[in-house]
C-alpha cells in the first residue's frame, strides 16, 4: 500500500504536469479526458480570435506552442517562455521586461499565463509596449481553477479585473468572453478533485469513466442553462491605441 507521503507526492507532480501539459501538448482532448470541457472552450475561443491576428505574432508563455496551427494567417510566430527543463528562471520572470524592441509585433497572444506572473500590471504593460499601434492582444486567464504550479500561482481574474488591467495600459477592450458557465465549472471542479484525490488510488479506466460521465452531464447542462457569472475562464481581445 502506498504511504500518504507517496500519494501526496504523486498528486503534486500530477497536478503540476497536467497544468504544464496544457501549454505543451496537442490541443485535442477526448471526452474522457480530465480537462476536456476546459480545453474545448479554450481552443474554440482562441481559434475564433485568430481572425484578429496578423503580421508578426508573439506568444508570451508559449510552452510547446500548441496553438500555432490556429494562426496560419500570420507572417511569423515567435514564442517566449520559461525553460521548464532547467528550472533556472522563475515562472513570472519572462514577462518583464520582454526582450524585444517597442512596437515590433502586430499581435500578442498570451494564454493561461497571467495568473503566474507576480505583477500582472507590468506584464500587460510589456505586452502593450511591444505591440504596434493598432495591434491586437489576445489574452486568456482563469476566474476559477485549482491551485497549480505552486508556488507560482498568484491570481484569478474577473472580467472587470481584466478590463481594468487592459485599459490601464492604454488598450481598447474589444471583447471579453466567458468560456463556459456554472455547470461546466462544477463539472471541471469535480474532474479536478477526482484527478487530485482519487486517481492515485483508483484504476486509470475508472477515472476515465468518471471524467466521461462528468463531461457529458455537465457539458449538456451548461448548454441548457446558461449562467456565465461562475465561468472557468475568460478570453479578452484588446487593441492598442494609435492606429
pTM of the full predicted structure? 0.83
> How many angstroms separate the Cα of 62 from the Cα of each of 77, 82, 114, 226?
10, 9, 12, 31
Quote the CA–CA distance of 69 and 79 in Å, as a whole number.
Answer: 13
Kindly report, residue by residue over 8-49, the tens digit of the pLDDT: 333 334 334 444 445 545 567 899 999 999 999 999 999 999
Tens digits of residue pLDDT in 181-213: 999 999 999 999 999 888 777 888 899 999 999
Helix (H, G, I), strand (E, B) or coil at 68: helix
Q: Where are the domains of the chain?
A: 4-240
Predicted local distance difference test score (pLDDT) of residue 95: 52
Which set of grid coordinates corresponds to residue 179? 468560456
Q: Any idea of the CA torsion for 31, 33, 35, 36, to the nearest 10 degrees?
A: -10
pLDDT at 92: 44
Place of cell 495591434: 135
Euclidean distance between CA atoms 232 and 219, whole angstroms: 13
**pLDDT value of position 203:** 83
Asked if 125 and 166 touch (Cβ cutoff 8 Å), the reply is no
CATH architecture of 4-240: 3-Layer(aba) Sandwich (3.40)
Per residue in 107-139, pLDDT tens?
A: 999 999 999 999 999 999 999 999 999 999 999
- The position carrying cell 466521461 is 212
Could you give phi then psi for residue 79, rounded to 5 degrees? -115, 150
Q: What is the pLDDT of residue 4?
A: 42
The predicted-structure confidence for 127-171, as pLDDT tens digits, reads as follows: 999 999 999 999 999 999 998 888 889 999 999 999 999 999 999
Amino acid at each position: 500500500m502506498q504511504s500518504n507521503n507517496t500519494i501526496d507526492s504523486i498528486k503534486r507532480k500530477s497536478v503540476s504536469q497536467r497544468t504544464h501539459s496544457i501549454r505543451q501538448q496537442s490541443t485535442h482532448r477526448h471526452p474522457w479526458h480530465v480537462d476536456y470541457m476546459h480545453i474545448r472552450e479554450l481552443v474554440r475561443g482562441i481559434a475564433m480570435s485568430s481572425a484578429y491576428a496578423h503580421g508578426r505574432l508573439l506568444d508570451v508563455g508559449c510552452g510547446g506552442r500548441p496553438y500555432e496551427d490556429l494562426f496560419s494567417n500570420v507572417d511569423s510566430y515567435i514564442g517566449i517562455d520559461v525553460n521548464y527543463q532547467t528550472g533556472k528562471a522563475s515562472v513570472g520572470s519572462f514577462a518583464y521586461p520582454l526582450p524585444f524592441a517597442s512596437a515590433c509585433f502586430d499581435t500578442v497572444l498570451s494564454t493561461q499565463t497571467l495568473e503566474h506572473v507576480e505583477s500582472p500590471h507590468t506584464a500587460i504593460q510589456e505586452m502593450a509596449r511591444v505591440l504596434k499601434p493598432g495591434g491586437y492582444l489576445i489574452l486568456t486567464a482563469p476566474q476559477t481553477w485549482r491551485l497549480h504550479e505552486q508556488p507560482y500561482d498568484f491570481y484569478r481574474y474577473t472580467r472587470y479585473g481584466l478590463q481594468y488591467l487592459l485599459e490601464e495600459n492604454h488598450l481598447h477592450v474589444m471583447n471579453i468572453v466567458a468560456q463556459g458557465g456554472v455547470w461546466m465549472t462544477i463539472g471541471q471542479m469535480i474532474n479536478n478533485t477526482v484527478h487530485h484525490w482519487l486517481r492515485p488510488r483508483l484504476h486509470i479506466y475508472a477515472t476515465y469513466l468518471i471524467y466521461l460521465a462528468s463531461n457529458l452531464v455537465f457539458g449538456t447542462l451548461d448548454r441548457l442553462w446558461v449562467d456565465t457569472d461562475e465561468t472557468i475562464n475568460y478570453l479578452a481581445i484588446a487593441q492598442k491605441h494609435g492606429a
